[in-house]
């Protein structure tokens, strides 16, 4: 039987489970590692205190897989979200409503590499741009035909949290095995594409007008080194959230945010007007005096070289995911964030 969801604006069950992830408050920690692949999530979760037997596990019927446990006594969640901007969007927005206080989110994902360095290298990008298909371009027309539109668009950059970025770089650098042949980059730029194929310059049987895309990207974006599909949206949402909610957030924030966007004529009668700002306040909010920043960083494993065309082997993938996952886990558990005693509690553990 399907659950009953209330409220078309932000659907939740009566016991407050969110629509796509299926989680609710108490099941998600403030420190989160997000990955694209279930097996990567599970192998990192197996390194939590007490191993998988000691970990809360929830798989939603939309394919999101969450593990929550403790790392060296600190609550931490690992979530596998699949691929692309929409799934990153579901994750950040729905987890935000399950967690009070500051959040620290690290993406540990794979990517393609644009530099002539070995596959298996790591990049911890200091910025990310969105590289997206321009749907106003006529892709069915001949390439030679002059069009006003460009087939692809590059956005302005979004940035990670500086301290979390440094913590991740320091941690992976310290944890690399003596035999590791890869490079560890920390001052390069990432591009997050809206397709694995067309907007990453791969040639398929579709007319994508992308044969010069990588060349163009390298010309337009200084220090660009990696291509994947989620980091930009994570950095974008985290930084706009943090800038617009610099002091307070509680699980009741959604009612505040929603009411601020209601046109005055349609505002519920119970709302009051904030005297200083003139904004309409919702019925509830009891903001906690903690910061509610979302701090984000990204650690990217170069699985595909777009220079040599080489792909990483399954053995090297396992080894890289294993030691980099451990390093990210330990560093995130140690990373200081502002969490009040009440909201750091993960009730089921």
Q: Which stretch binds ligand R1P (CB under 6 A): 9-17, 35-43, 139-147, 282-290?
A: 35-43
Question: Which spans in the chain are helix H?
Answer: 38-45, 85-96, 162-175, 213-220, 231-244, 253-260, 314-334, 341-344
User: Dihedral sign, CA of 27, 33, 34, 35?
Assistant: negative
Size of the site for ligand URA (CB under 6 A): 10
Could you count the other beta carbons within 10 Å of the beta carbon of residue 272? 11
Binds 55: which of ligand URA, ligand R1P, none (CB < 5-8 Å by kind): none
Contacts 24+ apart (CB under 8 A), 306-312: 306/112, 306/113, 306/114, 306/200, 306/201, 306/214, 306/227, 307/113, 307/114, 307/115, 307/116, 308/116, 308/119, 310/119, 311/119, 312/119, 312/120
Binds 182: which of ligand URA, ligand R1P, none (CB < 5-8 Å by kind): none
**8 A C-beta contact, residue 230 and residue 110:** no
**8 A C-beta contact, residue 32 and residue 234:** no
Among 29, 35, 105, 339, interactor with ligand R1P by CB under 6 A: 35
Q: How far is the CB of 166 from ligand R1P (least distance, A)?
A: 22
Residues 219-238 that bind ligand URA (CB under 6 A): 227-229
Binds 36: which of ligand URA, ligand R1P, none (CB < 5-8 Å by kind): ligand R1P
Binds 112: which of ligand R1P, ligand URA, none (CB < 5-8 Å by kind): ligand URA
Residues 181-240 that bind ligand R1P (CB under 6 A): 196, 228-230
Among 25, 83, 218, 260, interactor with ligand R1P by CB under 6 A: 83
Site of interaction with ligand R1P (CB under 6 A):
35-37, 83, 109-110, 196, 228-230
Site of interaction with ligand URA (CB under 6 A):
110-112, 196, 200, 227-229, 303-304
């Amino acid at each position: 039987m399907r659950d009953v969801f209330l409220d078309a604006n932000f659907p939740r069950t009566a016991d407050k489970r969110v629509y796509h992830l299926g989680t609710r408050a108490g099941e998600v920690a403030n420190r989160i590692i997000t990955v694209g692949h279930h097996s990567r999530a599970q192998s990192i979760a197996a390194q939590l205190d007490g191993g998988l037997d000691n970990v809360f596990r929830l798989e939603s019927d939309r394919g999101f897989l969450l593990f929550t446990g403790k790392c060296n006594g600190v609550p931490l969640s690992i979530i596998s979200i699949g691929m692309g901007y929409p799934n990153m969007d579901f994750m950040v927005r729905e987890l935000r409503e399950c967690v009070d206080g500051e959040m620290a989110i690290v993406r540990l994902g794979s990517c393609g590499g644009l530099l002539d360095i070995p596959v298996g290298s790591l990049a911890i990008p200091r910025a990310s741009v969105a590289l997206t298909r321009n749907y106003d371009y006529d892709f069915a027309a001949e390439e030679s035909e002059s069009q006003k539109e460009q087939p692809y668009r590059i956005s302005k950059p979004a940035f990670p949290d500086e301290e979390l970025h440094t913590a991740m770089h320091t941690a992976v650098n310290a944890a690399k095995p003596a035999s590791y042949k890869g490079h560890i980059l920390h001052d390069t730029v990432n591009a997050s594409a809206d397709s694995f194929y067309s907007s990453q310059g791969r040639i398929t049987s579709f007319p994508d007008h992308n044969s010069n895309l990588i060349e163009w990207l390298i010309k337009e974006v200084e220090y660009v080194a990696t291509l994947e599909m989620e980091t930009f949206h994570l950095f974008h949402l985290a930084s706009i959230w943090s800038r617009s909610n610099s002091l307070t957030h509680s699980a009741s924030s959604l009612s505040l945010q929603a009411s601020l966007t209601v046109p005055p004529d349609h505002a519920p009668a119970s709302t009051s007007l904030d005297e200083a700002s003139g904004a309409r306040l919702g019925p509830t909010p009891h903001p906690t005096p903690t910061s509610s920043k979302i701090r984000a960083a990204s650690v990217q494993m170069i699985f595909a070289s777009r220079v040599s065309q080489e792909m990483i082997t399954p053995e090297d993938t396992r080894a890289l995911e294993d030691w980099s996952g451990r390093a990210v886990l330990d560093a995130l558990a140690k990373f200081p964030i502002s969490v009040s005693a009440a909201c750091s509690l993960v009730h089921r553990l």
